[in-house]
Structure 1
Amino acid sequence: MQDNLTVSVIIPAYNAQSFIEKAILSVLAQSAVASEIIVVNDGSSDATADILSGYLDRIIYIEQQNAGVSAARNAGISVATSDLIAFLDADDYWHPDKLAIQLQAMQENPHWVACYTRDCSDDSELNQTETESGLTFEDKTIEQIFINPYLTTSTVLVKRELLLSIGLFDTRLLTAEDIDVYYKIASLGMIGFVNRVLVHKKSVENSLGSQLCSYADNLEVIDRFLTTKPARKLEAIAPMIKAKVRLNWARELIWRGQPKAAIPIIKQALSEAPSFAARLLLYKARLKLIFVGSS
């Protein structure tokens, strides 16, 4: 058992005046008290700083020129002093028992280096977890994380020393920086899963994760990870994973009315991992190109 674990909460905020207060209040309302709440104002041009000024007695406040979410998280990690780091995006918020349950999970599973929870986009679903029973903790192997690395960052609790050892978030990546971190963490130890909805995740239109560059960044992260020694045993399933990313990329292009751009991406996916789904998508892209055209 690992008793008396401490937690630093890091909240990056950029033009977050509409939701930053709700995020902070959800941390202050935790049944397990965080040792530090570190809010990094990433060059906001709205009233974010004014709102945060009302919480300076309860948060560690950092202000920097706009440099992106990775730089903001790294700035928070660099001043954190706790055993564990919990991330919370400014437009998300937590169930009151989120930290308590994850601390329990980490204490009962000392082989975990990090853990994450389920999330939702529905307030009623988040509230209903107060009466849920059957809480379970599950090990996630590196293969499972490699196949499905799309963890919601606001659900993640991770050992601070491990984050420091991997070099933090890669500020060169516009997107997929979180996937890069999860791969690195999984290669160094077991990631655990807390099977309960404990985070409300807000879907923001035109967020970085919805940009087309996220697919290319995802593929770059996969290729880069495969060059590391811990990833060699994953090479057999890598073509399937890369093909899946490409097909999702192609579907997005087709939906945006760009079937011509989608076709070579689908062909690449077929060369990596032939499948009926890829052939069907190629057929649809060609039909759309013929009958609708491409911008």
Structure 2
Amino acid sequence: MTTVTAVIPVFNDAAYLAEALRSVLDQTRPPTQVLVVDDGSTDASAEVARGFAPQVELIAQANQGIGGARNTGIAAASGDLIAFLDADDVWPLNSLQVRLEAMEADPSLAAAYGASEHFFSPDLDEAKRAQLHLPQGHAHARFAGAMLIRRRIFDEIGLFDPSLRVGEMIDWTSRLQDSGARIGKIDALVMRRRIHGDNTVIRERPSHGDYLKALRASVARKAAAARDAGAA
């Protein structure tokens, strides 16, 4: 039987964590292990996670950023496959099932991902909504919460770069792509991303240079690979 660990990093998202956890536990094929990594929260996030015990395991640490929190979850994971969900997002009921079926049908896949959609958090008033952009429709993108990844892949290409406060997923998926690994694309909605005004990409605006750092690293890897191929 294929085992799956769900890793949910949380930093001061107590208001949304319970909904995220319910969406994980209510899956048509639920994970065999659910880990919440409390990344130095100062709100009630840890208490919310404890309320779901024993189905949910809580790991507490000093703040390291979302990449470091995911790495902590990976280190504690017992599953053959790893799924991620940010504490303010949710999965549709069959999210894990459709990704699992794709991975089980094709053992050569290193990872599989589906489509995502965005939604305004119900606690946002109209004035706040008018200030924020809400992308429309479903779109395929390699968001962490939309992917299902074989555990061994992290041993092969490395963990998330904890120095990146944002852009850590762009950096990691670029390394995955550059490794030549096969990645499956699923035509199904697998994640709903909550827009609430304090999302990481908004909160960490000063770190947007991290995106450039991740992209430069990808360009450097490709250039090195091209040089190696030319020398062979």
TM-score > 0.5, shorter chain as reference: yes
Instruction: Choose 1 or 2 for highest CA Rg.
Output: 1
SS in 2 for 1:19: helix
Q: Please say if residues 150 and 179 of structure 1, whose CA atoms lie closer than 8 Å, have aligned partners that are also in contact.
A: no
1:107 equivalenced with 2:104 (yes/no): yes
- Measured in 2, the distance between the counterparts of 1:55 and 1:206 equals 25
- Measured in 2, the distance between the counterparts of 1:9 and 1:167 equals 18
1:159 equivalenced with 2:156 (yes/no): no
Q: 5+ unaligned residues in a row in structure 1: which ranges? A: 124-147, 234-295
Match for 1:176: what amino acid?
G
Q: 5+ unaligned residues in a row in structure 2: which ranges? A: 121-138, 227-232
> Which structure dedicates a bigger proportion of its chain to helix?
1
Per-residue deviation, 1:192? 1.2
> Which structure dedicates a bigger proportion of its chain to strand?
2
Count of equivalent residues: 206
Q: Please say if residues 114 and 192 of structure 1, whose CA atoms lie closer than 8 Å, have aligned partners that are also in contact.
A: yes
Q: Please say if residues 178 and 221 of structure 2, whose CA atoms lie closer than 8 Å, have aligned partners that are also in contact.
A: no
1:34 equivalenced with 2:59 (yes/no): no
Structure 2 residue aligned with 1:178 = 169
Per-residue deviation, 1:112? 1.3
SS in 2 for 1:171: coil
- Measured in 2, the distance between the counterparts of 1:36 and 1:231 equals 39
Deviations 1:226-259 (A, max 9, x none): 22258756xxxxxxxxxxxxxxxxxxxxxxxxxx
Structure 2 residue aligned with 1:15 = 12
Moved more, 113-122 or 97-106: 113-122
Match for 2:73: what amino acid?
G
Q: Please say if residues 83 and 145 of structure 2, whose CA atoms lie closer than 8 Å, have aligned partners that are also in contact.
A: yes
Structure 1 residue aligned with 2:191 = 199
- Measured in 1, the distance between the counterparts of 2:223 and 2:35 equals 32
Change (3 A) 1:230 1:111: farther
Q: Decide which of 61, 64, 73 is 1:64's aligned counterpart.
A: 61
Structure 2 residue aligned with 1:95 = 92
- Measured in 1, the distance between the counterparts of 2:30 and 2:140 equals 28
- Please report the TM-score for the alignment, with normalisation by the length of structure 2: 0.82
SS in 1 for 2:160: coil
Per-residue deviation, 1:25? 0.7
Per-residue deviation, 1:164? 2.6
Percent sequence identity over aligned pairs: 32
Match for 1:180: what amino acid?
D
